[in-house]
Amino acid sequence: MSTLSDLMVAQGRSTDADVEWLHLLVADSQLLADLAFADIVLWVPTRSDSFIAVAHSRPSSAATLFYRDFVGQEIKPEWQNQVRQAFETGQIVDTAAPDWYEETPTRVRAVPVLRRLSPSGAATTEHPIAVITRHSNLSEARTPSRQELTFNQCANDLFAMIASGDFPDLAAPSGPRRGAPRASDGLIRLDVDGIVTFASPNGLSAFNRMGFVGELEGESLAEVTTQLLSGKLIVDESLPLVVTGRAPWRTDIEARGVTVSLRTIPIRHRGERVGAIVLVRDVSEVRHQEQELLTKDATIREIHHRVKNNLQTVASLLRIQGRRTHSDVAREALTQAMRRVTAIAVVHDTLSEGLDQNVDFDDVFDRVLKLIAEVASSHNTTVRPTKTGTFGTLPSEYATPLALALTELVTNAVEHGLAGRDGEVEISAKRKDGQLRVKVRDNGVGLAEGKVGSGLGTQIVRTLIQGELGGTIDWHTLEGEGTEVTIDVPLRWVTKGK
């Protein structure tokens, strides 16, 4: 299914600002559907002077009329005149009589969408940029409850604001925080003075759990929250603006171990604030889970930090042992072991600095390359290592074996291909279609064609690339001189053991 942006770009009649505005509107289309107890469809004009659906939201508060998405479809003939009238006049257009859809009586409202030109100014686009249709099911006609009437009135207020460019509000947060309240979670209606005129049962229950006793209606929401938070040393500075309905912001309040998230939508008529909708949700469990995740992340980072420290200690012990030994062979073996341990420590050091278990491997490899200078100096060699391309971000399951394997390959190029001479080592990385290809080239003495080393380093590389990463590795001699090693690793993005 095409995205809203793709569909609008394909029609070529909308600007980037229009696309961004409609993205903000679509982010709240579920709220509109729930408040209106109706299906909501967003239409944009096409090159052929028609309209195409770019978004469709079904109500969670009522039965949907449409079991198939309209997204990507051209408008049906029975709605076209009504939508065009709303688009051309900039006025909300209601059907004069019930509209029938597959033998179901419906009421259709077409709402033009105007875009505010700036967050602080009152100017809007001269003409609508899209049209929203609201499709209400009339087959289940009954006497609506007070909550339904209030929800419908809130929906009507928001539709009127959409038609005047007052909704969505550019001053509102750009994205919902996890656990953002919905209409079904709890809704409180405020008048212009911040007095509660309606509180849904779920909204009242959320405040009851925080210790409020009595009815919210007729109370000042600001005074109620002040009483609940009395004695708190730290209070969100945006709270007064949220609970009085003056700003389209979000905040959390916590009392008696219960955390409630509030989202305020100021209601405006011709630019003047006349009240507000406050969405309420008990997010105690959500925030508890978030805190647990933060604690676990901090613990994991601390573990990586300690592992790095321990590996550096082991590397130091190997270096000391190597200096004390009198055997050249033993000294070289200890030096290589120290270098391998250090390469692994670099990965853990990088993991200890991040918030997840993915690492920027380009940063890791740049740090690994610094180890090569030490290898070159011990072999009286001047090496100019260069890296081209990018590795990108890799999970830790890939990063550790790949760092160790590339350390071995570059070390082999310096120790064997360039021993006793100056030269270059080039490492190129390229990602494409779920595959990572890495080439390590040197301009050293090269290998005899068809011959591959059989030392410990080669065995380690084979084990890591083929066994750990499920990849392939190929050695061959370049024309003239030098060796090129090609590694292909499939990026399956799976965590081992799960």
Q: Which CATH number is 132's domain given?
A: 3.30.450.280
- Do you know the residue count of the chain? 498
**Tell me: the pLDDT tens digits for 420-479?**
667 778 888 998 888 899 988 887 766 655 555 556 777 888 888 888 888 898 887 766
pLDDT of residue 263: 93
Residue 172 falls inside a structural domain: no
- To the nearest whole percent, how much of the chain has pLDDT over 70? 85
Same domain as 135, residue 98: yes
Q: Report the number of distinct structural domains present in the chain.
A: 4
Same domain as 372, residue 275: no
pLDDT of residue 177: 59
Same domain as 365, residue 347: no
Same domain as 415, residue 343: no
Beta pairing partners, 261: 252, 281
Exposed, middle or buried by CB within 10 Å (0-12, 13-18, 19+), for 477?
Answer: middle
Residue for token digits 């688009």? 87
Same domain as 388, residue 328: no
Token pair, residue 76, equals 């049906």
pLDDT of residue 446: 63
Of 294, 328, 356, the residue at which a domain comes to its end is 356
Range of the domain at 224: 183-282
Q: What are the two backbone dihedrals, phi and then psi, of residue 195, each rounded to the nearest 5 degrees? A: -90, 135
Residue 169 falls inside a structural domain: no
Question: What is the rounded CA–CA span in Å between residue 382 and residue 6?
Answer: 53
- Residue 422: how many other CB atoms lie within 10 Å: 12
Same domain as 419, residue 492: yes
Question: What is the rounded CA–CA span in Å between residue 10 and residue 87?
Answer: 20
Residue 178 falls inside a structural domain: no
Residue 175 falls inside a structural domain: no
pLDDT of residue 496: 39
Of 234, 250, 282, the residue at which a domain comes to its end is 282
Q: How do beta strands 258-269 and 196-199 pair?
A: unpaired
Token pair, residue 119, equals 């967050």
Same domain as 248, residue 363: no
Residue 177 falls inside a structural domain: no
pLDDT of residue 200: 95
Residue for token digits 């980072």? 301
Q: List, in order, residues 6 or more apart from 448 with CB less than 8 Å away.
A: 477
Beta pairing partners, 490: 435
Same domain as 423, residue 319: no
pTM, rounded to two decimals: 0.64
Q: Are 113 and 38 in contact (CB under 8 A)?
A: no
The CATH number that applies at residue 461 is 3.30.565.10
pLDDT of residue 114: 95
18 Ramachandran zone, left/alpha/beta (phi>0; psi -120 to 50): alpha
Max Cα–Cα distance, the chain, nearest Å: 100
Residue 170 falls inside a structural domain: no
Residue 390 falls inside a structural domain: yes
Residue 210 falls inside a structural domain: yes
Of 220, 252, 282, the residue at which a domain comes to its end is 282
Same domain as 71, residue 203: no
Handedness of CA 399, 402, 408, 409 (dihedral sign): negative
Q: In tens digits, what is the pLDDT along the chain, a chain of 498 residues? A: 457 888 777 777 778 889 999 999 999 999 999 999 999 999 999 988 899 999 999 998 788 888 888 898 999 998 999 999 999 999 999 987 777 777 778 899 999 999 998 887 888 999 999 999 999 887 766 678 899 999 999 999 999 999 999 999 888 876 555 668 899 999 999 999 999 999 999 999 999 999 999 899 999 999 999 888 876 655 667 788 899 999 999 888 888 888 899 999 999 988 889 999 999 999 888 777 767 766 676 666 677 677 777 777 877 777 788 777 888 788 777 877 777 777 777 777 766 666 566 778 888 888 777 766 666 555 566 677 788 888 888 887 888 888 888 888 887 777 766 666 677 788 889 988 888 999 888 877 666 555 555 567 778 888 888 888 888 988 877 665 778 889 898 887 544 333
Q: Are 345 and 310 in contact (CB under 8 A)?
A: no
Same domain as 408, residue 298: no
Same domain as 39, residue 101: yes
- Residue 230: how many other CB atoms lie within 10 Å: 8
Same domain as 153, residue 42: yes
